[in-house]
Chains A and B, each alone.
Chain A
Amino acid sequence: MRMGEAMQPLSEAELSEAIRDAGGPLVVRGGGTRPIGRPVAGAALSVTGISGIRLYEPGALTLVAAAGTPVAEVEAELAGAGQRLPFEPMNHRGILGTEGAPTLGGMVAANASGPRRVQAGACRDSLIGVRFVDGTGAVVKNGGRVMKNVTGYDLVKLMAGSWGTLGVLSEVAFKLLPRPETEATLVLDGLDDARAVAAMSAALGSPFEVTGAAHLPDGRTVLRQEGFTASVAYRAGALAEHLAAFGTPRRLEADDSTALWAGVRDVAAFHGATGDVWRVSVKPSDAPGLVARARGKALYDWGGGLVWLLLPEGIDLRNQLGQFSGHATLIRASTQTRARIPTFHPEADAIAALSAGLRRRFDPRGILNPGLME
């Protein structure tokens, strides 16, 4: 175990020891690039010392790696074999102004998913196995390295997006996808928000395999297709025809398309801008109405199912939105605002009781990122 600014166990066994012997709250972190949630006071525990790819079988589309492994290292390794993580994980450094290298464990703890979520599923959908240390120091495994596994309860899903409050991940396993030969993006200009969502719904409801559908603050509505070159050429033509009622799209080819979607993924439109950043998950057709009520700058991803909002500092978006089906998460705000406005959407009482019950049982001493999700 390395000791310094943060405790840094170098193995799962050391991680287990560190948690078992902890005398008080722990602030769990990977690369430290996603300081999201109610600020937690405690001793820093870094997982970056538990690192490395444990198994990669391209022919089986599976990868197993230690939780502290940098996402970039994994992505480079996969790219070398023409594969990738299906869910296009977002990099939060730009939006949060952080530095460091995002890790697999942090990515899973945040269930970080990008534009392809709308077609290929979220991080939690590709996650097929975990090992973690719970709040008592016990090492737990769930799932494994195979894509189909219904043996016992699915704690894999429960760990994704639990922000280190149920256990500290030590190892994660993913199902992968082939990296496509090429991609292209159709761009429609000048649609208002409601028309843009309608166009995205029409595109996602077509058989032409749209893998990204976003409406940007500059008014562009963008639709991505990926696959073999001939296939993408055919589908782009078919999709343009299918969307004729919404205008005649322009087309961005390979590299331009890739750059555009990296910006959508990381919400580049809001980088460096003053104000709070909210992330709203919603039924797509409800999104334009919510955006009108929020009165902020908006980026629609996931065909409208995910809305990024830039609002003046300190405003409680949830008060402005009122009741809606979905949830709003405060991603970026001052420490004072984050202490005052809950980061995560308040849950119905019965749900909150179940979540609290799970936390109590996985972390009976309440030492793992206590209060972060409350």
Chain B
Amino acid sequence: MDMPKPDAAVLARRDRIVAGLLDILPVDAVIHDPTETRAYECDALTAYRCPPLAAVLPATTDDVAAILRLCHAEGVKVVPRGAGTSLAGGALPTEDSIILGVARMRDVLEVDYPNRFIRVQTGMTNLAVTGAVENDGFFYAPDPSSQLACAIAGNIAMNSGGAHCLKYGVTTNNLLGVTMVLMDGSVVELGGAHMDAGGLDLLGVVCGSEGQLGVVTEATLRILPRPEGARPVLIGYDSNEVAGECVSDIIKAGVLPVAIEFMDRPCIRATEAFAKAGYPDCEALLIIEVEGSDEEIDAQMALISAIARKHNPVELRESRSTDESARIWLGRKSAFGAMGQINDYMCLDGTIPVSSLPHVLRRISEMSKDYGLDVANVFHAGDGNMHPLILFDANKPGDLELCEAFGADILKLCVEVGGCLTGEHGVGVEKRDLMHVQYAPADMEAQLRVKDVFDPKWLLNPAKVFPLDATESRRVA
């Protein structure tokens, strides 16, 4: 993967830049020793690494503003970093950039139950937000599977989703406002405790902009009352087509489950070997979760099961208790860990129209044979967000490249059937060079204009999201 040539003038001024950062922050918040900056050389996309010029860990919005003012004046690129859990390389540094990490900004600033919001510093983890309100019966809805570790800052940058978006939406639908520092150091407030923008919806375009428009230091998040209860039903089928039809019929019947998860046979087998959740050995497994009071759950499950039975399932298991629910979820929740036991894997994130599911799964299985690499599918079937896991051996020369080529083909297929390259992980560096598959030059140009307005010098999170050739004239300008 290509990255731009580092700015030699910046590298030459390294000492002066570090001294400037030390004027702003305490000594332990500026990491510049080459042995220590290595800790920031990559995020969860570990295939690509590059230590930054330095890393800084500010504690306040004012600190962030001072850092950005300095970097703006010195022409230094800045890579914002949440918890570094990006699977897309969203926080991959360049040699001439500094990492701006929000890990020390973890305070809850305000909890307001009557108005149903929480205001936090963005270094707080996703799960800690729910943790701050759950004793009072509330929760924060977006639940990416990395929620124990991932930070709200990264959730906002990538517009993270999770398993429950069918009912509750993704980050952008649960974000009411942000405090954001622009690259020139000015601080802006977008949105707040009220709903919707008074003018242009700048908050809407900031969410999901992968840290390229500003550094979000505080966020006002919508919190929701926790449902009375939730239970899943597990349904197994001997064909992907039939499982897909079942999902479609359930949705058409007017039931809105909070989650519809789908696993294919390779994934079922791997997780069974690992977690022993007692899943049937079948072609396609659905886990469908519904919410409400016990009686409401029973009623919805009865409806779902009646529809499911019409499609002749090989197994149908309704959870009646917390224990049974945990067993049903056990395999799904260990899916990624299970794959990791078998081999190295690459996790994709394309979205497809739900109706294309059988076709796409068939094509992936054909491509798997052509490439000679195994693939397991686990995904959010209600919203079409797929997570094919391609298995490869990082120690075998050429295997990573082969895996990347296979992944690119799968993502092209997603776009071809009317879907997109990434449903919740973001583009980062990983899918940067595939953007032209989804977007014509005019589509991309419209997005670049937004970047021009927020960050005219193109210093924030360089070389991400857009192909380098599409941005070159702007970056050097």
Contact = CB atoms under 8 A, between A and B. Distances in A.
Interface string B409-448: 0000000001111111111000100010011101111110
Interface stretch (B25-33, B111-119, B145-153, B369-377): B111-119
A205 B198 CA distance: 25
Given A58-B251, A355-B199, A205 B114 contact: yes
Contacts of B352: 146
Interface in B230-267: 247-249, 251-256
A215 to B, nearest CB: 15
Nearest to B157: A150
A68 to B, nearest CB: 21
A178 B425 contact: no
Contact of A124 (B187, B201, B435, B439): B201
B254 A354 contact: no
B251 A178 contact: yes
A75 B115 CA distance: 31
Interface in A168-208: 177-181, 198, 201, 204-207
Interface string B203-239: 1110111000000000000000111100000000000
A158 interface: yes
A140 B194 contact: no
Contacts of B209: 153-154
A166 B201 CA distance: 12
A312 B112 CA distance: 34
A312 B88 CA distance: 55
A354 B419 contact: no
B438 A60 contact: no
Contacts of A230: 295-296, 299
Interface in B268-307: 292-293, 295-296, 299-300
Contacts of B182: 350
Contacts of B19: none
Given A125-B173, A348-B189, A354 B453 contact: yes
A158 B201 CA distance: 5
Interface stretch (A4-12, A21-29, A90-98, A356-364): A356-364
A254 to B, nearest CB: 16
A144 B419 contact: yes
Given A144-B419, A151-B421, A329 B198 contact: yes
B194 A148 contact: no
Nearest to B182: A350
B202 A351 contact: yes
Contacts of B195: 117-118, 122, 281, 302, 305-306
Contact of A147 (B165, B201, B442, B451): B165
A361 B296 CA distance: 51
Contacts of B351: 146-149
Sorting the interface of chain B by its residue count into under 10, 10 to 19, 20 to 34 or 35 or more gives 35 or more
A148 B423 contact: yes
B198 A344 contact: yes
A58 to B, nearest CB: 5
Given A152-B465, A344-B198, A59 B355 contact: yes
B468 interface: no
A256 interface: no
A283 B355 CA distance: 40
B384 A283 contact: no
Contact of A361 (B254, B295, B452): B452
B205 A144 contact: no
Interface string A74-115: 000000011000000000000000000000000000010100
Nearest to B446: A140
Contact of A354 (B202, B228, B293): B202
B134 interface: no
B256 A177 contact: yes
Contact of A134 (B137, B203, B204, B446): B446
Contacts of A357: 452-453
A283 B194 contact: yes
Contact of B418 (A144, A160, A328): A144
B113 A205 contact: yes
Contacts of B225: 204-207
Given A61-B251, A180-B254, A325-B193, A148 B201 contact: no
A347 B254 CA distance: 42
A145 interface: yes
B423 A281 contact: no
A163 to B, nearest CB: 9
A325 B192 contact: yes
A151 B199 contact: no
A258 interface: no
For chain A, which range describes its interface: under 10, 10 to 19, 20 to 34, or 35 or more residues?
A: 35 or more
B294 to A, nearest CB: 10
A204 to B, nearest CB: 6
Given A158-B204, A362-B449, A148 B444 contact: no
Nearest to B435: A152
B158 interface: yes
B200 A355 contact: yes
A373 to B, nearest CB: 6
Contact of B420 (A138, A151, A181, A373): A151
Nearest to A157: B204
B408 interface: no
- Looking at A113, A158, A355, which has the most chain B CB atoms within 10 Å of its CB? A158
A118 B225 CA distance: 13
Interface string B382-398: 01110000000000000
Interface string B148-177: 000000000011010001100110110000
B361 to A, nearest CB: 16
B194 A326 contact: yes
Given A146-B351, A149-B420, A152-B447, A201 B198 contact: no
B194 A305 contact: yes
A348 to B, nearest CB: 7
Contacts of B449: 358, 361-362
Interface of B: 112-116, 137-138, 158-159, 161, 165-166, 169-170, 172-173, 182, 186-190, 192-205, 207-209, 225-228, 247-249, 251-256, 292-293, 295-296, 299-300, 351-355, 380, 383-385, 418-427, 431, 435, 438-440, 442-447, 449-454, 465-466
Given A144-B418, A205-B225, 9 more contacts: A124-B201, A141-B439, A149-B419, A154-B207, A155-B450, A234-B296, A325-B192, A325-B193, A350-B188
Which 6 pairs between the two chains have the least Cβ-Cβ distance? A157-B204, A327-B198, A59-B248, A148-B423, A357-B453, A178-B254
22 contacts: A60-B248, A60-B384, A121-B173, A145-B418, A146-B353, A146-B383, A146-B419, A148-B165, A148-B170, A148-B385, A149-B351, A149-B422, A157-B204, A178-B255, A205-B114, A205-B116, A207-B226, A283-B115, A327-B197, A348-B189, A350-B187, A354-B188
